[in-house]
Amino acid sequence: MSGMTLERNDLVEATHRGLARVWIDFESALVQVPLIARMLGQRMRAEEYRRLLVNLRQQVVEGSRWISRAASNLGPEHEELRSLFVRHAVAEHRDYRLLEDNYVAAGGQAEEIRSAPKNIGSEALSAFMYQAASRADPVGLLGAMFVIEGLGERLAGPWSEAIKAQLGLGDEAVSFLAYHGANDGDHLDMFDRALALAVSDARVADDIVRHAKIVARLYRLQLEEIDNV
């Protein structure tokens, strides 16, 4: 095995360690967000769950769009990585419909969730995503994917069960969270492949971790500013 391959493997491992530290800080801070704390403390009300769905939709509806934009700005040397981005965008592009269905099943009206504006945290997250995706070779956005897909794999499943138990809802009202809890592990496998392709030097590794830090903070902000439009 060449020294270059060894160095690249070391860089990928160092990137994973940096991302793990970001995740630990993110998860620790997330449980202190009032809405999440109420849910974890079995004190969530039905209207609070509907508010959560409304605000999640504002981020989810944009997700495949910024991934597609990022893919379009990856150069020829990132052809395989671009293919992974495109497949991921296709997999995500209708997820917002699950949120709409869940909202109706939880007692809301479809037009309410479809017409709701972004809160100020969602505005900040969306603006950052599009700005980052518009750069040339925006491989740093893998850090954003790590945070968002990590939420699905590690937290969405337990959240769906907690919400069902507290509110007496059926599966049809929590299918978005349940789906991501069951399937985002596959998305993280894709992320691992993408990371191995993307991390070519220390600058790229640092950029990926930095993007993860920013998105972790902005994702939490949209949950903190749940009704602030």
| Per-residue pLDDT tens digits for 99-147 | 999 999 999 999 999 999 999 999 999 999 999 999 999 999 999 999 9
Q: Cβ distance 30 to 220 under 8 Å?
A: yes
Give the model confidence (pLDDT) of 70-90 as tens digits: 999 999 999 999 998 888 888
- Rg of the chain taking only CA atoms, in angstroms: 18
| pTM across the whole model | 0.91
- Lowest mean pLDDT of 24-38, 60-74, 113-127, 181-195, name the range: 181-195
pLDDT at 184: 52
User: Strand, helix or coil at 161?
Assistant: helix
**How much of the chain is helix, strand and coil, in % rounded to 5?**
85, 0, 15
Q: Cβ distance 101 to 172 under 8 Å?
A: yes
Q: Cβ distance 167 to 53 under 8 Å?
A: no
- The Cα 184–Cα 152 span in angstroms is 6
Mean pLDDT of 205-218: 97
Nearest of 57, 65, 162, 156 to residue 110 by alpha carbon: 57
Nearest of 110, 75, 74 to residue 89 by alpha carbon: 74
Cα-based angle 126, 30, 208 (whole degrees, multiple of 5)? 50
